[in-house]
Amino acid sequence: MSEPAMGDHDIKAFGPAPLPPAAYAPGAPRGGGLWRWLLLALLVLAVVTACSTVALVSTLADFGNNGVSITIDGETWRLSSLDGGHGVLAVLGVLLALLVVLLVVPVAVMLGLLAAALGIGVALLAAVAVAGVALSPLLLLGVLVWWIVRPRRVRQRA
């Protein structure tokens, strides 16, 4: 015995599934979410980095044309004498130095402050522990007095 095939009328008998209330309405406000702000911040950071790089390269090129020179241990280099590859390496060196200054120095300062805060916290914890041990006889006496003086609760039988 075979079952009868499901027809068009049987499929449409139940109707469409109900939509959640106002979640998919055309004018309904959507949640912004963290990812949208994170991507926007990343885009702004990329634009600022690109503008800073262009400004740094143009400044170095301007310094090279104005006769700026660098002297280390008596040896002098003129920025105008750098050819293309050395100029790019100079820019990358300056960018690397800026990266170190902007990342490594704040992290080192934060680690120093964290170590100081941890030391202060450990010292305070030790002081509280010593005070607790030193005052334990008084605390025990206070607990005993409170236990004797407090009003008794009367239990009522059901």
Residues 6 or more apart whose Cβ sits within 8 Å of residue 65: 80
Count of H-run helices and E-run strands, the chain: 5, 2
pLDDT at 89: 83
pLDDT at 131: 94
Backbone dihedral angles phi then psi of residue 57, each to the nearest 5 degrees: -65, -45
Residues 6 or more apart whose Cβ sits within 8 Å of residue 53: 91, 95
Give the residue ranges of the chain where pLDDT is below 70.
Answer: 1-4, 6-13, 19-32, 63-67, 79, 158
pTM of the model: 0.41
pLDDT at 29: 58
The tokens for 9 are 């009328």
pLDDT at 76: 84
pLDDT at 108: 95
pLDDT at 65: 66
